[in-house]
Chains A and B, each alone.
Chain A
Amino acid sequence: MSPLKIKKGSTSHSAYNLRPNFSDVIERHTLAVLVENEPGVLARVIGLFSGRGYNIDSLTVAEVDHTGHLSRITIVTSGTPQVIEQIKAQLGRIVPVHEVHDLTVEGPSVERELAMFKVTGTGDKRVEALRLADIFRANVVDSTLETFVFEITGAPDKIDAFAELMRPLGLTDVARTGVAALPRGN
């Protein structure tokens, strides 16, 4: 386990000691929260963020261990280092929360998001959309004579970039899953 991994209630592995100078710079952090998949657990997590005025930039949740009934919630949040520390400590306090990991400080991690884009158009624009989709390795998952639905997977900024390119080409609908993330290596 990485020395920075914060287990519930731990002191010796706390990141407090490691970053003594709290700054006022807003940082973006990806948190992985393992929770017992019981009714209302997502409401507890979301209620914590709204009740204490924290930001949620993106959130994904699904059961990942069907026998142990554990769900993994991936939250992208932003705040000053002090606020980020508070968010982690507050999450750790929720009774059905088993583990809280800050993937942003616990070493390298990989982040992916899936998105679907519906692009409506004919003629050159339609051809151009298909060409760009190919460059971005987006798949066509539905097509009519006037529309495409592209499926694209990647880091959030890649998806943002693809969305910007599609906009002038007839982008009509977007669906994004939010970030799923895992630490790299062991």
Chain B
Amino acid sequence: MTRKMTGAKMIVQALIDQGVDTIFGYPGGAVLPIYDEVFQQNSIKHVLVRHEQGAVHAAEGYARSTGKPGVVLVTSGPGATNAVTGLTDALMDSIPLVVLTGQVPTFMIGSDAFQEADTVGITRPCTKHNWLVKETDKLSGVLHEAFHVATSGRPGPVLIDIPKDVQFATGTYTPKKPSVSHYQPPVKGDMDAIIELVEAIETAKRPVFYTGGGVINSGPAASQLLRELVEATGFPITSTLMGLGCYPASGDKWLGMLGMHGLYQANMAMHDCDLMINVGARFDDRITGVVDMFSPKSKKAHIDIDPSSINKIIRVDIPIIGDVGHVLEDLLKVWKSRGRKTNSEAMAKWWKKIDAWRSIDCLKFEQKGKIIKPQYALSRLEALTKKYDRYICTEVGQHQMWAAQYLDFEAPNRWMTSGGLGTMGYGFPASIGVQMAHPDALVINVAGEASWLMNMQEMGTAMQYGLPVKQFILNNERLGMVRQWQELLHGERYSQSWSESLPDFVKLAEAFGAKGILCSDPDDLDDAIMEMLTYDGPVIFDCLVEKHENCFPMIPSGKAHNDMMLAGVDTQGVIDAKGSVLV
């Protein structure tokens, strides 16, 4: 079964054996042999991006919308260093990526050669694992191991650094085989802990499911099991930014997103619950607010595949280490076999309380006058795209939070956003990756004008591959979230937080050969959105919105979940000195 071939050919062969159909990359001196092999085959599509950061984000979009690992191919030195932001982003959000970097020939490593960088050194803290392969014979083994590591356990990005002489040299190719790796994170949860959680579910008076990206990463089956569990128990469910779509927004148990800009009912339920069931979330600081005041009265269960997530930030009572899908399956089995019990009397009272919180209607806003409110723009986008099986990407900032609040997600893998790292410039290239994976789907990137400009060069990529990605830019000519914090914390001194010298986005679109749409009047908005949806090709939609709108509700820094700011409140002095040092 083993065959002799060059390192470069091995790389392409290994990708084919791993079922890769698309790679995102940018050529350069140290990867020319690989690009030569890419040229001589038809199994794998190569997407030529305009910047290596874009390649990694596009691969992230591909991975998040398909559940398969994203693959990136870039050159040594600047090619590798440009990939670092994307690697860190993927590590924070647990996205499986295999990134291949070229390296100067082995005999030149350490000599400060042209386009040399210590790639494995630089990327060690921002990958799940990385390798420098110095022998062609070891290359195929490492390539297959890389896919195994990227997708097993808690997924993450891995990187393989391949010197140019290793690509040229001939070696033995070993095909993909059942993994011999010692890296085998367990997926089954401990049965005693699962039974303990079932007992807690049976008696809980005020339970809440707190779900996260782990449900999505576990695969569509995990989302199905979660839905079954929620419907069967009747427990309310909230989700982090990363977990949107694991439970349908149209479900009646849905409380909406929780956290700093989460919904009032979700945060109140988290604060007042007596049983918190964390399913694949990690008690991120955007969720917990001040740790000392986080959900003080609850018993906490935590299902996570990564042992280091347990007790990292919040001490939990029932830790269950395992894959969400496997654990939920066992949990359902045990709960059903014990008679499907819940405390229905207490649940009725709990739901009454939740409905009272819901009636606050924390997302209400008033669209009046001739200026479009960003909330209105997203509400209309939601209404007009509801019937599509659409994929939404975002950049980072106010628009991202509004998108999470005002757009509804019915299925997993439909929502691509930079959660952990908060990378401005993520959304546009991610939308390209999503569209490559789903050529016929509606893919929209909800953006702010400042974020969007960070990777706008990828317009060239969208045009080259005919990707009809819709760039829905909420243009407030501000770095909106920075502006909001400056209003709240820095005496309304808006230091460097406006967008000066913006391009004419319509002309910009036209310069690339795409369609540009400008909309500034709420009365024109529906027609303009329809025009965007019906156009067959990339669109830059420049939606001029209210410049000084703040994103609410909000848990101000240093406050607890039950101390939320709602829209229309006085924003002065709400954050004290202690809170102001937090980000």
Residues of A with Cβ closer than 8 Å to B?
A: 8-12, 14, 16, 22, 36, 39-40, 43-44, 47, 51, 82, 85-86, 89-90, 92-96, 98
Q: In angstroms, how far is the closest chain A Cβ from the Cβ of B149?
A: 6
Known: A40-B124, A47-B124, A98-B182. A16 touches B311 (CB 8 A): yes
- Which residues of the other chain, A, contact B307 by a CB distance below 8 angstroms? 9, 11, 14, 89, 92-93
CA distance A118 to B190 in the complex (A): 55
Q: Which residues of B306-357 are within 8 A (CB) of A?
A: 306-308, 310-312, 315, 319-322
CA distance A148 to B174 in the complex (A): 58
**In this complex, which of A16, A47, A51 has the most chain B Cβ atoms within 10 angstroms of its Cβ?**
A16
Q: Which residues of B109-159 are within 8 A (CB) of A?
A: 120-121, 124-125, 128-129, 132, 149, 153-154
CA distance A82 to B154 in the complex (A): 22
Contact A11 B124 (CB under 8 A): no
CB < 8 Å neighbour of A12 from B121, B129, B190? B190
Contact B319 A14 (CB under 8 A): yes
CB < 8 Å neighbour of A86 from B186, B190, B311? B311
Contact B120 A9 (CB under 8 A): no
Contact B306 A93 (CB under 8 A): yes
Residues of B with Cβ closer than 8 Å to A?
A: 120-121, 124-125, 128-129, 132, 149, 153-154, 182-183, 185-186, 189-190, 192-193, 306-308, 310-312, 315, 319-322
Known: A90-B308, A92-B308, A95-B183. A11 touches B315 (CB 8 A): no
The closest CB in chain A to the CB of B319 belongs to A16
Q: In angstroms, how far is the closest chain B Cβ from the Cβ of A39?
A: 7
- Which residues of the other chain, B, contact A47 by a CB distance below 8 angstroms? 124-125
The closest CB in chain B to the CB of A81 belongs to B311
Known: A47-B125, A90-B308, A95-B129. 8 other contacts (CB 8 A): A9-B153, A9-B185, A14-B321, A16-B311, A39-B132, A47-B124, A86-B312, A92-B308
CA distance A12 to B321 in the complex (A): 9
Between A and B, 13 residue pairs with Cβ closer than 8 Å are: A9-B153, A9-B186, A11-B189, A11-B307, A11-B320, A16-B319, A40-B132, A82-B311, A82-B315, A85-B311, A89-B306, A95-B129, A95-B183
CA distance A9 to B121 in the complex (A): 26
- Which residues of the other chain, B, contact A9 by a CB distance below 8 angstroms? 153, 185-186, 307, 321
CA distance A95 to B192 in the complex (A): 28
Q: In angstroms, how far is the closest chain B Cβ from the Cβ of A84?
A: 11
Contact B120 A22 (CB under 8 A): no
CA distance A163 to B129 in the complex (A): 42
Contact B182 A11 (CB under 8 A): no
Q: In angstroms, how far is the closest chain B Cβ from the Cβ of A63?
A: 17
